[in-house]
Chains A and B, each alone.
Chain A
Amino acid sequence: MSYALGLPRGFNYLRASSIDEALKLLSEYGGEAKVLAGGMSLMPMLKLRMMEVKYLIDILSLNELRYVKIDGNYLRIGALTTHNDVAMNRLVNERAKVLSESAWHIADVQVRNIGTIGGSLAHADPAANYYPALIALDAEVVIRGVGTERVVKVAEFYKGPYTTDLGPSELITEVRIPVSSFNGVYEFFRRGGASFPSAIVTVTYQEKEGVITSSRISIGAVYPEPVLIKDNLAGMSTKEVGAKAVDIANSIFSSIEAKPLEDTHALGDYKIRVARNMLIKALANIASGTLSKPKTPVREVISEWKPAEDKLEYVGNLVRVRVNVNGQWIEDLVEPRLLLVDFLRRHGFREVRRGCDEGKCGACTVLFDGKAVKSCMIPVARASGHYITTIRGLSKGVELHPIQRAFIEEFAMQCGYCTHGFMMVTYDYLTNIDPAADDEVLKLSIKNICRCTGYVNIIKAIKRASKYLSGANP
């Protein structure tokens, strides 16, 4: 038996440069292939050797699948739109706030930078953040096969834990949400450092003159599949919903027959109780009109994935990669499964460190085309043709970058093993997410692990760096 994990079994790596090429490769390799979108769920499974694939078909550079737009009666989101874009995009925030909120709660900056909405839906984790929000929003997915296109309601797309309606040679291309005047509340509980929530409750509703005309309550992470309750609030005034919140919640949960999920931290009866309490709170908020949540930053532009310039060249079982690290191109012939973290370390970038097998701790964080990613979650083949930056690419010779200075001034390290990853994610966070380092946004964004400092000084260093980067003198 092996507990020596964190390194995937061998696979072949293929890149699709168009949707049609991706569909063609999928139909050619069928059951032996897996689509690699962001890979934020797939890569950990491969690294933990929970699964094995013969071919990975990388679709990340299909920029035609990255958009958010209103078209017809739908808010349309391209399947490769990243979680960070779903979280921060202005249109999503205006038209589907609960979806934006659900995205803000996904993992951390690094995962949200690369993980995609389509990938998350295809993976269908029973505790995934998007499902309850999308089901409450009555969203649909657009699915393409070779010469086919079909549309399925998200509620019907999910077939059970890790199973969906998606065929082996199909791709999700779009998620679309009917444009309507749904208000909504998204309640979410995750504990401590756990990646997945214990319970999610989403309530959306339409009202006319204080009376609810239609409603959708969706409960996620509690049962093997998300539960949807339609229109049970219809006809009530919002005030009435508040007054009857406990009864409404009790009757919903007593009518659900599914057996709750259980994990080592949250037993079934506990999950149900928490979901019930969250629903009561959500209904009370609807009654009191307190729907607003902490202000999170918003942006217009959708990030693109720089398409690689070179074609992949295989030499036997090895693939030729060319990666720009801190301004210098490095070429090597590697196994397709070689992870970026190991490539960087083998080539002398030892500041990049490994702390876990699952892509959680963040010690291996580097900038990938300017955005923070965990380099243990990326096969180096995927990085070929791209630009990687470590701290040595940020500092100028012996002169420290303001983030380095802030970390040392606040004594924000002890053993130093996590420091590089923290500085790299801090750079991306302060540059691209939240220059002001607001507590609420910070909490949702930086979740690297440090075992020595108790984080207190790291938080101070991030805030100090925020001041430096916004012009304060060191």
Chain B
Amino acid sequence: MSKLPHYREGLRAVTGSGEYIDDIPTPPGTLYMAIYRSPYAHARILKIDLTGVLEHGGIAYGPGELSKVIPNPFPLAVDAPIKYYPFARDKVRFVGEPIAVVLSDDPYRAVDLLDYVQVDFEPLKPVVSIDDALKGDVLVHDELKSNIAMYRHMKFGPVDSVFSESPVVVKREFYYQKHNAMPLETYGVLAHYVGGELNVWANVQGPLLIAYFVSRALGLPTSSLRLFTPRDIGGSFGSKYSLYPYIVLAAAASILSGRPVKWIESRTEHLVGSNSGGARKGVVEIASTKDGIIKGLKFRFYEDVGAYPRPPDPGVLFRVHGNMNGAYDVKAIEVEDYVILTNKLPTGLNRAYGGPPFYFMLEVAVNELARELGIDPLELRIKNLIRDFPKKLGDEYFYETITGGLYPKQDYERVVRAIEPEYRRWLEERRKNPNIGVGVVVLVEPSGTNLGYTDLAIEPSRRKYPHSGAGTYVTVSIDMSGYIRVFVNGTNEGLGHETTLAEVVAAELGVDPSIVIVENRVDTTRTWALSDGSYSSRFAPIVISAAILASRQLRERLTRLAMAMLGTDKVGYENGQFYDVNNPSRRVDIRRIASSVNWDPGSLPEGVDSSLSVTVFYQPPTVKAAEGDRINSSATYAIQAHLAVIELDPDTYDIRVRKYVIAHDSGRVFKREFVDGQLMGGLMHGLALTLYEELMYDDQGNPLTTSLDIYESPTLAEAVGMEVEFIHFETPAKFLVSEAHGVGEGAMMGVPAAIVNALASIIGKAVTDLPLRPYKIMRAIEG
């Protein structure tokens, strides 16, 4: 029998031994929480009567009790007089907004108790669409006096002259729907306030700002918050960042009841009340020469963030700030951003945060420019690619974008041309079968977020402090038996981080991965940074860099200890053993050194650092705070090209993907299977949002998407027969210790435009309103 691949998380998965939030043992006396949520999109709360719950043996807390232990609203990223609490105080602002919680010692009975909560509402007219919101006759937040939570207008380079002088200007309008990348595991919290300490287990994505938000809302010092995640998280894709309001509710219930409180969200609650990416209306204008050289870009975005501008939003607009020129050499960019409030579920992180709506609009517009000029869309893109990277930082070269981004030097044309043979082949095929469509997209994939980009929501003159959080801690230690122990205050949502870290650290220390033990979970009782966690594809560029640095420092310590133990000033190292270069038969291995340090440290010479634990903090060298409205919004950027080949069914107007190709240069690859996994997963998330998934509301703001069936999530059946090909380039990104870019999001960023462009090649026009439901395609064809 062949040896199993080294895949730790995979072994847990096939043996059913993963540990997820619902598997965490509950302390005795645990109460189960159920949440009473608003049935109205917009209404005043007149009266709340919880006595029925008490009469039926339950416990209930409404806004009155909750306010006592949740004194503060969450901090916001926008400069606006809006108060966001985890429950409605006087007015409800979206269907599903929590109003009260009920508690029982049985989860089924907790849900039953919701029947006895009585609330009287005075329904108000809801604000449902972006257009409704802009009219402003009904206000989601009266204090704001409009429904625009933020407006920013930024110009970079000679935009006006470029647009007035360019012979060609293409302008397109777009709509990108509200959707949720939707992990299969829902939210869960176990909160226990005891002895003045708040212990929280939750399936969050990292300690991050979550710990800060929770302690702020509850008015507790961060010193009394102990936040833990289970070992495994059943997917997140950004979604579980928005768990913090529910952590606060469960914590409040525990504080008020004096008991441990557990809450597991239902799927319906997840669709109605958890999190989503925002709907966006966009207008893109491209100024170009007649032969297709792009001279300038104008963007106008209306981002619908739902009922509250919940942090990190409106970061969704700024995550791509440094790369708004895409892969093209464009030096004039204007952007107008509106953050719109409506009576819908608040938004938050969602896989590829900000990338899919942005590249959907940019890359369809670029394609339309090519179609309008009659230039092959792949050739037009190649013409505009960045070729010179003149800015020198350290020993490396970069292209500095007009908005402040720093693209490391890569051969963009080589990567883009890699899809060309397949592109040409399918164009031939299209001549034979007019229902085949071919679409391309080129983008740069940002990775390793600079948390400082959220500052762009505020006018430069009104910003109080600079921000540039991006770094991470990693600890590498050796225990008494010589096992290597790695600890990261991150999370495992299935990206293979434990396996990768074991292999990376083992390679640095020259040992077998089997002796490397990795713990990758949140534990705020250990060292953590505000930016620690699993998000923005930061693992490869940042976390691995820290792990490598820590391993190298540890190896340096081992070397000095070996020199001392061998009594020589020159040691060599092979297969986990140090040897005296002058007398190679004299050897000491890591295990022996560890043993001495633990059992007989008194024997070690004075002055040698004998600590076998190293903690490193790594901040990528490119990440700095904003200067005015220019910021390098991500640690790094990597080139990527997509080819989508689709077939349109003329009877049903449905689209089937025949072949999908992605070529990219993600720098050093640590584990090919995991890189492929990220591309395949991102591709399917992209297809899901492009073809199927939308969180829909009726004109009263009632959510229509309340089940998976209505969400229309693709199942395994939709992937059968789809051919996928990835072309990898591996130019080391030498300015990062790991030499690797992130790979988790680019696929999803490119899919919407690739599919829309492929469809346009069949029907002669771009359908710019997502998702591409067959009835929309029918109408586009039949008029």
Interface residues of A, Cβ cutoff 8 Å to B: 1-7, 9-10, 48, 108, 189, 191-196, 198, 264-267, 269-270, 273-274, 277-278, 280-281, 335, 337-338, 342, 345, 350-358, 360-361, 363, 390-392, 395, 400, 404-405, 407-409, 411, 413-420, 422-423, 439, 442-444, 446-459, 473-474
Contacts and interface: CB of A to CB of B under 8 A. Distances in A.
B234 A411 contact: no
A264 B185 contact: no
A183 B596 CA distance: 85
Contacts of A194: 709, 712
A4 B708 CA distance: 15
A355 B496 CA distance: 21
Contacts of B313: none
Given A405-B14, A408-B5, A449-B716, 17 more contacts: A4-B110, A191-B652, A192-B714, A264-B710, A277-B650, A337-B108, A355-B185, A358-B707, A407-B14, A413-B13, A415-B493, A442-B720, A448-B716, A454-B684, A455-B680, A455-B720, A458-B716
Contact of A358 (B267, B652, B681, B712): B267
Given A454-B681, A457-B677, A48 B36 contact: no
Given A274-B651, A452-B494, A416 B34 contact: no
Nearest to B110: A4
Nearest to B272: A3
Interface in B239-276: 266-269, 272-273
A277 B782 CA distance: 14
Given A415-B184, A451-B181, A4 B35 contact: yes
B237 interface: yes
Contacts of A5: 111, 266-269
A225 to B, nearest CB: 22
A329 to B, nearest CB: 20
Contact of B16 (A264, A350, A357): A350
Contacts of A354: 22
Contacts of B235: 414-415, 417, 451-452
Given A192-B692, A452-B235, A439 B10 contact: no
A459 B716 contact: yes
A451 B1 contact: no
B16 A390 contact: yes
A414 B20 contact: no
Contact of A350 (B23, B95, B267): B23
A442 B715 CA distance: 12
Contacts of A411: 5, 7, 10, 673-674, 676-677
A404 B493 contact: no
A417 B266 contact: no
A444 B717 contact: yes
Contacts of B719: 454-456, 459
Nearest to B181: A451
A193 B494 contact: no
Contacts of A473: 1
Nearest to A337: B108
B714 A195 contact: no
Which of B182, B493, B691, B774 lies at the interface centre, i.e. has the most chain A CB atoms within 10 A of its CB?
B774
B233 interface: yes
A420 B16 contact: yes
Interface string B169-186: 000000000000111111
Given A264-B696, A418-B184, A446-B717, A192 B14 contact: no
A191 B16 CA distance: 32
Contacts of A196: 709
B269 A4 contact: yes
B4 A408 contact: yes
B34 to A, nearest CB: 5
B706 interface: yes
A453 B680 contact: yes
Contacts of A6: 266-268
Nearest to A263: B710
A361 B16 contact: no
A415 B185 CA distance: 9
Contacts of B659: none
A358 B709 contact: yes
B184 A451 contact: yes
A416 B234 contact: yes
A146 B181 CA distance: 52
Contacts of B1: 473-474
A417 B14 CA distance: 10
Contacts of B680: 453-457
A131 to B, nearest CB: 19
B14 A391 contact: yes
Interface string B553-575: 00000000000000000000000
Contacts of B13: 407-408, 413, 416, 419-420
B773 interface: yes
29 contacts: A1-B37, A4-B266, A189-B652, A189-B654, A191-B652, A191-B774, A264-B710, A265-B773, A267-B775, A353-B20, A355-B184, A358-B708, A408-B5, A408-B7, A415-B183, A415-B185, A415-B235, A415-B494, A417-B235, A423-B14, A446-B715, A449-B708, A450-B716, A451-B182, A451-B681, A452-B681, A456-B722, A457-B677, A457-B680
Given A192-B714, A408-B4, A451-B182, A3 B273 contact: yes
B38 to A, nearest CB: 7
A192 B710 CA distance: 10
B712 A192 contact: yes
B585 interface: no
B422 interface: no
A450 B184 contact: yes
Interface in B1-58: 1-2, 4-5, 7, 9-18, 20, 22-23, 34-39
Interface string B106-125: 01101110110000000000
A376 to B, nearest CB: 10
B684 A408 contact: no
A296 to B, nearest CB: 14
